[in-house]
Structure 1
Amino acid sequence: MSSLAGLVAVALVASLFMSFTVGANSNSAPIAPAVGANAISTLRGALLVGIVAALGAVAQGGRISETIGHGLVTGVTITPLAATATLLTAATLITIGNSRGYPIPSAFTVTGAAIGAGIALGGGFAAATYAKILGFWLAIPIVEGVLAYAIAWLLLDDRVADPPSIALLAGGVGSALATIRLAVLPSPGGGPGSIAGVVARALGLSTGTAGGLLVGGAIGLFTAGVAYWQLRRDVSTGIDRMLVGLALVVVFTSGGSQVGLATGPLESVVTSSLGLPSIYLLGLGAVGILLGGWMRSPRLIQAVAREYASLGPKRAIAAFIPAFLVAQAAIALGYPISFNKVMISSIVGAGLVGRASGSDGVSATKTGYTLGAWIASMVGGGAISFALYHALAALPGLG
């Protein structure tokens, strides 16, 4: 086996390891509020995490993968050696955090590691890209915290009836879900299509934005009607079903936003060196996410569900909706994000309503430790990846 083929094989294994770690770590967080609200068991939640996140990885993972693979350094093409250094560094750091019960943000770690290996390879800093991504990251806790707090306050207000308020939220999520781009659906331009777009064309409506929005609105109204009917029959059962449904939507979104962290460093390797379309790489990542979600996620599900905030069903709903919207915005823009950060920001915002009413609310100590881990993971990931690349390059036959 040639040295290039050997490096590609090692990099593919590293990508599988990283996607396994992502499945165990980042994709666990979205199901946590449903577990914390006792709407679903931990083990059943872990099973669903693996399956649904893997589907999301294939359907929506391309944009993030492209950014990680091509957008973080300038002037160089990521080599198998640099990809291996990136993935081994990130996966190891995330696994250590996972084993200690502290969710390490995959996006921070992978981004830092990718930049470190790219600079070691001789590339330059993509400053404009960093500014955009950093601005998005800084906005996440503010936007999500405010939205989650506002939704939780509304749902917990005794003056607001549950059926219409929750049904309205369900309709909004249904409409948004119908208009997101999925790689498995066709579009007239040849890129990813949406459910609304496919239905609009099937009904002979406008193939442009107007037709898709019209169908998306109709799907939202239908979703709201179904939710309202269920809530009128049995409020408690309706809330639990809404909670689990939202959890699965967010898990699907997490797969699409997180798989690129595992596959992105190999984008140029697979498309250039092997001449394969990136869908094969996303499939490999989906397999790793599936296995990681099944085998390692229960501990992290418990950590996020129990240790960061005490959420009831309504506050859990309030945590899911901003997480879904922000993560889909990140996918559309191609920005890597940490789903741990996304979920914890929403959980904190919704949990603060609990604190205001005298419950245990948010664990400030746990949240503080997590913030420190976020910063350390990105800086440490860059430094370690830089050093690891040079160490590997010094080995006979690899330099």
Structure 2
Amino acid sequence: MAAISLVLAIAFVAALFMSFTVGANSNSAPIAPAVGANALSILRAALLVGVVAGLGAVLQGGNISETIGRDLVTGVSITPLAAAAALLTSAALITIGNSRGYPIPSAFTVTGSIIGVGIALGGGFATHEYVRIFSFWLVIPVVNAILGYLIARALRSDALDETVGVPVLAGGVGYALANIHLSVLPAPSGTTGSIAGSMSRSLHLLPTTLAPHYTLGMFVVSLALGIAALGATWWQLVRDQATGIKRFLIVLGLVVVFTSGGSQVGLATGPLETVFESDLHASTSYLLVLGGVGILAGAWIRSPRVIQAVSNEYAALGPRRSIAALIPAFLIAQLAIVLGIPISFNKVMISSIVGSGLAASSSGGGVSPRKAGFTVLSWVGSMAGAGLVSYGLYTGLHAIV
């Protein structure tokens, strides 16, 4: 009994450390454009990142956490010892990589670690799930780069006034926000609530079905919120264009921070999903709160340094390219949350920045094919290496315990 308690304690500490690392690194970049534009101080930005990313973790982290904890191997459930081995492997590799200047993508490392311990437990490969996840990972850089390029070209075009283009984008973000999945909102059985869904049902508004789980009332509510966001942004830009752009960067950055919290917390909490339900008989909502607390602590303690470093780069990009990078990142990460697919949020941001950079440079925006190839190899290597290390670590710990 004492050994089991010790293993659980180690697993919880490792999960907190993972969420702390996510809060310190993965959630900081989206607010950096606002800091680079002198719209926010670094300390205030770090404070907002911690609170908003923590809320995103609690309200949106369930799907990805479940995928990590249940769907990556077949025939077995992740035990407390296996969860501890996977989390220790991931946390150690990420820490070592960061300390040596080689950022290790969390999503790939955690995925590899869970597969490794799952196979060590006697489980099988969840091939169908891997195809789904890997296909999404391959599509991310292409779609993000295209979206970033198109938005940046539109914002740079002389034919489109900034007081029109930016508000239209704000309206699109507002429409999307009305439909994001939030765990605290009531919803029909088997679905997750959204602002549009909850409002349309409470008002008994136009229940005609347009698509599965999507009604005409939801469309109307979403459209109204989108128009409200468009109007508010247009009003700010007409009053003072520079100030309006800065405020839009703040709001957009926080929206993306919220999304990053929801997309990243599952990397820390996922390995403990079955442990919470089967061993502790507790709701996994408490697990997301644990992850949210870790993210908040990481953001408050470590993110000021990250924000300061990244904001200098975003200041060089300028507000238009920053907007063009943030919007695709928000959309892709929200889609990943809906589908329950773990992603590396930093890699999502990088591909968006590359796309917006292509619009600003006829030479390819400084994109190096050699560097891109090295990056892909590092992703594959981190996942394979994490799998092997976690397999060996679990086997060794199991023999001892």
- Is TM-score (shorter-chain normalized) higher than 0.5? yes
Aligned to 1:251: 257
Aligned to 1:68: 68
In structure 2, distance between residues paired with 1:301 and 1:364: 27
Aligned to 1:356: 362
Alignment of 1:20-39 (within 5 A): 20-39=20-39
The answer to whether 1:389 aligns with 2:389 is no
Q: CA deviation at 1:370?
A: 4.3
Higher mean displacement: 297-306 or 113-122: 297-306
SS of 1:373's partner is helix
Aligned to 1:54: 54
SS of 1:118's partner is helix
Aligned to 2:125: 125
In structure 1, distance between residues paired with 2:238 and 2:195: 28
In structure 2, distance between residues paired with 1:370 and 1:295: 28
In structure 1, distance between residues paired with 2:70 and 2:337: 16
In structure 1, distance between residues paired with 2:51 and 2:100: 25
% identity of equivalent residues: 64
In structure 1, distance between residues paired with 2:34 and 2:392: 41
In structure 2, distance between residues paired with 1:307 and 1:104: 20
Give the 3 Å change call, closer, same or farther, for CA 29–100 of structure 1 in structure 2. farther
Give the 3 Å change call, closer, same or farther, for CA 239–100 of structure 1 in structure 2. farther
The answer to whether 1:195 aligns with 2:195 is yes
**1:240-279 deviation digits (Å, cap 9, x = unpaired):** 1111111100000011111011000000000110000100
Aligned to 1:144: 144
Q: Residues 68 and 264 of structure 1 are in contact (CA less than 8 Å); yes or no, is this contact kept in structure 2?
A: yes
Higher mean displacement: 349-358 or 45-54: 349-358
Q: Residues 33 and 315 of structure 2 are in contact (CA less than 8 Å); yes or no, is this contact kept in structure 1?
A: no
Aligned to 1:2: 2
Q: Residues 31 and 251 of structure 1 are in contact (CA less than 8 Å); yes or no, is this contact kept in structure 2?
A: yes
Give the 3 Å change call, closer, same or farther, for CA 377–37 of structure 1 in structure 2. farther
In structure 2, distance between residues paired with 1:139 and 1:366: 18
- Letter in structure 1 aligned against 2:291: G
In structure 1, distance between residues paired with 2:331 and 2:197: 19
In structure 2, distance between residues paired with 1:175 and 1:226: 14
Q: CA deviation at 1:101?
A: 4.5
Aligned to 1:212: 218
Q: CA deviation at 1:382?
A: 1.1
Q: 2:235 aligns with which of 229, 240, 244?
A: 229
Alignment of 1:363-374 (within 5 A): 370-374=375-379
SS of 2:26's partner is helix
The answer to whether 1:341 aligns with 2:347 is yes
SS of 1:27's partner is coil
In structure 2, distance between residues paired with 1:141 and 1:303: 23
Q: Residues 103 and 340 of structure 1 are in contact (CA less than 8 Å); yes or no, is this contact kept in structure 2?
A: no
In structure 1, distance between residues paired with 2:305 and 2:378: 18
In structure 2, distance between residues paired with 1:37 and 1:314: 11
Higher mean displacement: 60-69 or 99-108: 99-108
**1:196-218 deviation digits (Å, cap 9, x = unpaired):** 12222332314552211110111
SS of 2:317's partner is coil
The answer to whether 1:116 aligns with 2:116 is yes
In structure 2, distance between residues paired with 1:355 and 1:35: 24
- Letter in structure 2 aligned against 1:95: T
Q: CA deviation at 1:190?
A: 6.6
Q: CA deviation at 1:351?
A: 2.0
- Letter in structure 2 aligned against 1:392: L
In structure 2, distance between residues paired with 1:67 and 1:384: 21
Aligned to 2:272: 266
**1:318-376 deviation digits (Å, cap 9, x = unpaired):** 00110011001001011111101111111111122233389x85577876664443232
Q: CA deviation at 1:188?
A: 3.3
- Letter in structure 1 aligned against 2:99: S
Q: Residues 310 and 351 of structure 1 are in contact (CA less than 8 Å); yes or no, is this contact kept in structure 2?
A: no
In structure 2, distance between residues paired with 1:368 and 1:51: 36
Task: Note the aligned Cα RMSD (angstroms).
Answer: 2.1
In structure 2, distance between residues paired with 1:20 and 1:248: 19
Give the 3 Å change call, closer, same or farther, for CA 306–116 of structure 1 in structure 2. farther
Structure 1: gaps of 5 or more residues? none
Higher mean displacement: 301-310 or 270-279: 301-310
Q: CA deviation at 1:84?
A: 0.5
Aligned to 2:329: 323
SS of 1:186's partner is coil
Structure 2: gaps of 5 or more residues? 208-213
With normalisation by structure 2, the TM-score equals 0.93
Q: Residues 26 and 105 of structure 1 are in contact (CA less than 8 Å); yes or no, is this contact kept in structure 2?
A: no
- Letter in structure 2 aligned against 1:226: A
- Letter in structure 1 aligned against 2:266: G
Q: Residues 25 and 103 of structure 1 are in contact (CA less than 8 Å); yes or no, is this contact kept in structure 2?
A: no
SS of 1:394's partner is helix
In structure 1, distance between residues paired with 2:397 and 2:13: 16
The answer to whether 1:376 aligns with 2:381 is yes
Aligned residues: 395
Aligned to 1:42: 42
